[in-house]
Amino acid sequence: MTAEETTAAILDRVEHVASAAALDALEGNALQPAGVSEIHRVIFEPIFGKGTLRQRSRRHDGSSYGITKGTREKPHDTTQNGTAGPRVSEKMHEAFGRFELEREAVLTAAETQEIVLADAVRPAAKLYARLIGIHPFVDGNGRTGFCVLTHALIRCGALAVALPEDDERAFHWCLGQAMRKDRVPDYEPRPS
């Protein structure tokens, strides 16, 4: 396959898997780390075979990825390291546990007060940023993460979203704000 055909095939797989994740969430099923590995496998195995599917778990399984940081006015591209291979599983379980606790807190609050959309979807946004930060796979984390985000949004009572393709840099900057290492991650929506 050419690079363009490969990209088209991956995007087609992501659309199908995100739809399946949405249906799974509508049935009330919680997603666990093993489910993330299955999502990754279903997206990439038909295209690349089994050799590219392993979750990072070994000490030498390093992972770095590009991210945009800085301010909206002065963004800058940099790299960030994912979780060390041996801690990937632990961090994944922690991220999904935190998501379920945060989701339950929002649903409980909604029983007695009106919840704005930003509050309703914040647990899903946090899970997505945490998952990308863990970077559990050597490649394909963003595509797999999008399917997880779709599932999480529906578990939070929201609709699935399509990420805009026209402003990728702004998307990467927002993701960078959510993944800040200074213990002050920012999940708040910003006007464009």
Q: Can you give the pLDDT at residue 159?
A: 77
52 backbone dihedrals φ, ψ, rounded to 5°: -105, 10
Instruction: Round to whole Å and give the CA distance between 52 and 54.
Output: 6
Q: Can you give the pLDDT at residue 57?
A: 87
For the chain, the C-alpha Rg in angstroms (whole number) is 17
Instruction: Round to whole Å and give the CA distance between 180 and 168.
Output: 18
Domains annotated for the chain, with CATH where assigned, are: 3-56+85-178 (1.10.3290.10)
Instruction: Round to whole Å and give the CA distance between 124 and 29.
Output: 15
Beta strand extents in 36-108 (DSSP E only): 64-70, 75-81
Q: Can you give the pLDDT at residue 43?
A: 92
Residues of the chain below pLDDT 50 = none
Residues 51, 139 contacting (CB under 8 angstroms): no
DSSP state of 112: T
Q: What share of the chain is helix, strand, coil (3-state, %, to 5)?
A: 60, 10, 35
Kindly report the number of other CB atoms within 10 A of residue 162's CB atom.
9
What does 19-49 look like in DSSP terms, one character per residue?
Answer: HHHHHHHHTTPPP-HHHHHHHHHHHHHHHH-
The residues facing 76 across adjacent strands are 69
Q: How many CA atoms lie within 13 A of 10 on its CB side?
A: 18
Instruction: Round to whole Å and give the CA distance between 87 and 77.
Output: 26
Q: For residue 152, what are its two tokens?
A: 């999480």
Helix (H) or strand (E) holding 162: none
Q: Can you give the pLDDT at residue 1?
A: 80
Q: Can you give the pLDDT at residue 162?
A: 60
Instruction: Round to whole Å and give the CA distance between 53 and 165.
Output: 26
Residue whose structure tokens are 């909604």: 110
